Amino acid sequence: MRQVAPLPAHYRYWPRGVPHTLRVPQVTLNHYLKVAAQRYPDKPAIVFCGQMLSYAELLRQVNVLAGYLQHTLGVARGDRVLLMSQNGPQFVVAYYAALRAGAAIVPVNPMSTTPELAFYVRDSGARVALVACDLLPQILPLLRQGGDESLQNLVLHRYADGLPQVPDDSLPEAMRADMPATLPEGAHRFTDALTAEQAPRASESSPDDLAVLPYTSGTTGHPKGCCHSHRSVLASNLASQVWRGLHGDAVFLCVAPLFHMLGMQNGMNMPLTLGATIVMMPRWNAAQAVELVERHRVTVWTAPPAMVIDFFAQPEAQTRDLSSLALLSGGGAAMPEAVATLLADRFGLQYNEAYGLSETAAFLHANPVARGKRQCLGMPTQGVDSRIVDPVTLQELPPGEVGELVTRGEQVMTGYWRNPEADAAAFIELDGLRFFRTGDLAHVDEEGYFFMRDRLKRMVNASGFKVWPAEVESALYEHPAIHEACIVGVPDERRGETVKALIVLKPEHRGRVSEQNIIDWSRQRMAVYKAPRLVRFMDSLPKSGTGKILWRELQAAEQSASSTTEPSPEESGT
C-alpha cells in the first residue's frame, strides 16, 4: 500500500475555505485595472485630500501617460523606469502607465540623496524617471550627465495634478512645491503628457515579464534589486486577498509609503486588483488618519505596529466612530502584547500579523484571521514551503529550535538584478528544490506557527548568553510609561556586549520615570542577562519610510559612542 506523506502541522488550523495551493492567473497587473474600470467606471478608485479619482479616469490617465512614454520618450518593453514620489494619485498613474508601456518600475525612497539615486539609475539602467517636482533637486544633477547610458528624460508631477481642485492647505507644506517656470532639457510636465492624448500600443507584456525592481536596504554593501514579475507580485497580492476574505466593496486606508512593498501591495495593488476604494494619505498624520477612518468608513488598514500605536494613542481614537474598521494587519515587527491587548479589549480588533520581505513581494506567512497568535509570523500561506534550518549546516531543525527561515513559493523573486554572487549566497537547494534564505532567525511551534527571534546579525551576545532584542522590546512595551523602545548591543569590557535600551516615554511620564526605574522594572520581569543594563531616554526613535525603527542606525551610533562601560554587576539568577 502506498504511503501518504503526513500533512504539515499547520494544516490542522488552516482557514476554512482557503485552498492549500494558489493558482496565479496568466495576466498582468494592468489587466485588473482595466477590468475594474469596465465594471465600476464611476466608482472612486482613489480618494485624496478630499478629491476623488474614478476608475474610468484613472484608467484614462494611465493609458495616455503610457502612450506618451512610448511615443515621445521611447520607452519599450523590458526597459526600467524609475519612480520617485511621495504618496499621491500620480504615483499610481505613473506606476501603472510604465507597466502598460511594457517597462518595469524601479520604486525609490523619495528621501534618497543624489549619490543614492545615481546608484539606482546606473545599476537598473533606467533612462526615464517619473518624479514629483518637489524632488527635482535630488535628481536633476543626473539628467543627461553621462551620454546615452545616463538618465535621459524626466516626467515631473505636482501632487494636485490630474485631480479636481485640491486646496493647498490640504497638503503638507513640503508637498506644495510648484512646477518650475522653465524646465531643463529632458524634463516634461505630467499634465502635458495627459493632454497629449497619445494612445499606447497594443500590450505585448506577459505575466513573466519583469514588473517591479525594488531595492533592498543594502545592509552589506550596495542595495540589491529584487526581480519581480507580474506573476510574483500577483501571487503575493491574490494570496493575501483570499486568506483574509477581502472583496471589492472594501475601503482601504493607504498611508504606508507606496515605494515600499508593504504600501505598494496593500495600499495600491491589492485594492485596485479587487476594484475597491483607496483612501490615500499624503503623509502619516495619526489624528488625520482617525478622522479619515470615520468619514470614509474605512474597513481595511495595513500598517506596521509603530503607526498603529500612534493611531490608537490619539485622543480622537477614543471618541470617533471606528466601528467600520474590520481588518487591521501588518508586519515588519511584532505587535507588543500590551498594545495587542488594548486593541482587543477596547476596540474589539485583532492585529493580524503577517510576514514578508521585498524579496517575496510582501505577503508570505500570515496568521489565520480566526486563530491568530500574538507576536507570531503565522504559518506559510497558499503554496508556500518554509523551513527552519541550521544557518551553517543547512540541516532542517525540529520544532522549537531556533534557526534560519528559508522559503519557496510563487511570490519569491526570480533573483537579484544582475548579481549572480548575491544569488549564490541567497539561494540554496533542499530536497532538489530552490529555497530563499531570508536571513531571519525563527522557530516553529508544534502547531506549525512560526515565531521570529531576530535578524541573523542582530543578536546580542552577553557573556555567552544569546539575547534577542525583539523579545526584550516586546516585554518593555508592557511598562505603562514606555511609548517606544529599541534594544541594541553595546561593547562591554567583561561581557563582550551588554544590553542597552533606547526609550521614548509617553509625554505624561517624562521627568517622572528614571533610567534606574526601567532597569529595576525589567529585572523583575525577565532573566537578568536579558534585562537592559543601560537605558537612554530619547525624544523620538528614527524610523524608515515604512515606520520601522531603524535599529541598525541606532546600534551603530551607540556602539560608536560607547567606550568601555562600567564593570557589570554580578550575574546572578541567569
pLDDT at 571: 32
pLDDT at 118: 92
Q: Over 70: is that where the pLDDT of 317 sits?
A: yes
pLDDT at 163: 73
Question: What is the CATH architecture assignment of 383-454?
Answer: Roll (2.30)
pLDDT at 476: 93
CB 379, CB 449: distance < 8 Å: yes
Instruction: Please report, rounded to a whole number, the percentage of residues in the chain having pLDDT higher than 90.
Output: 70
- pLDDT tens across 335-366, in order? 888 888 889 998 899 999 999 999 999 999 99
Give the pLDDT band (50/70/90) at residue 567.
Answer: very low
pLDDT at 469: 84
CB 546, CB 332: distance < 8 Å: yes
458-561 matches 29-283 in CATH topology: no
pLDDT at 217: 61
Q: Read out DSSP for 74-85?
A: ---TT-EEEEE-
pLDDT at 176: 82
pLDDT at 386: 98
Q: Over 90: is that where the pLDDT of 389 sits?
A: yes
By mean pLDDT, which of 57-66, 284-293, 556-565 is the weakest? 556-565
Longest dimension (CA), the chain: 80
Q: How far apart are CA 251 and CA 293, in angstroms?
A: 9
In the CATH hierarchy, which top-level class contains the domain 29-283? Answer: alpha beta
pLDDT at 455: 65
pLDDT at 379: 98
pLDDT at 168: 59
- pLDDT tens across 70-96, in order? 999 999 999 999 999 999 999 999 999
pLDDT at 397: 96
Helix and strand numbers, DSSP H then E, in the chain: 16, 26
pLDDT at 466: 63
More reliable by pLDDT, 406 or 222: 406
pTM summary value: 0.82
- pLDDT tens across 215-264, in order? 986 444 578 999 999 999 999 999 999 999 999 999 999 999 999 899 99
Q: What is the domain partition of the chain in residue ranges?
A: 29-283, 383-454, 458-561
305-313 and 286-296 helices, crossing angle to 10°: 80
Q: Over 60: is that where the pLDDT of 452 sits?
A: yes
- pLDDT tens across 325-340, in order? 999 999 877 788 888 8
- pLDDT tens across 408-424, in order? 999 999 999 999 999 99
Residue (of 201, 193, 188, 197) closest to 76 by Cα position: 201
Buried/exposed code over 310-344 (b: 16+ C-beta within 10 A; e: otherwise): bbbebebbeeeebeebbbbbbbbbbbbebbbeebe
pLDDT at 26: 97
Task: Tell me what the mean pLDDT of segment 23-45 comes to.
Answer: 98
Task: Tell me what the mean pLDDT of segment 562-567 comes to.
Answer: 47
**Domain 458-561 = CATH 3.30.300.30:** yes
Q: What are the beta bridge partners of residue 187?
A: 154
Give the pLDDT band (50/70/90) at residue 403.
Answer: very high
pLDDT at 165: 72
Q: Over 60: is that where the pLDDT of 574 sits?
A: no
Q: Is 17 left (phi over 0), alpha (psi -120 to 50) or beta?
A: left
Q: How far apart are CA 56 and CA 169, in angstroms?
A: 27
Q: Read out DSSP for 33-88?
A: HHHHHHH-TTSEEEEETTEEEEHHHHHHHHHHHHHHHHHTT---TT-EEEEE--SS
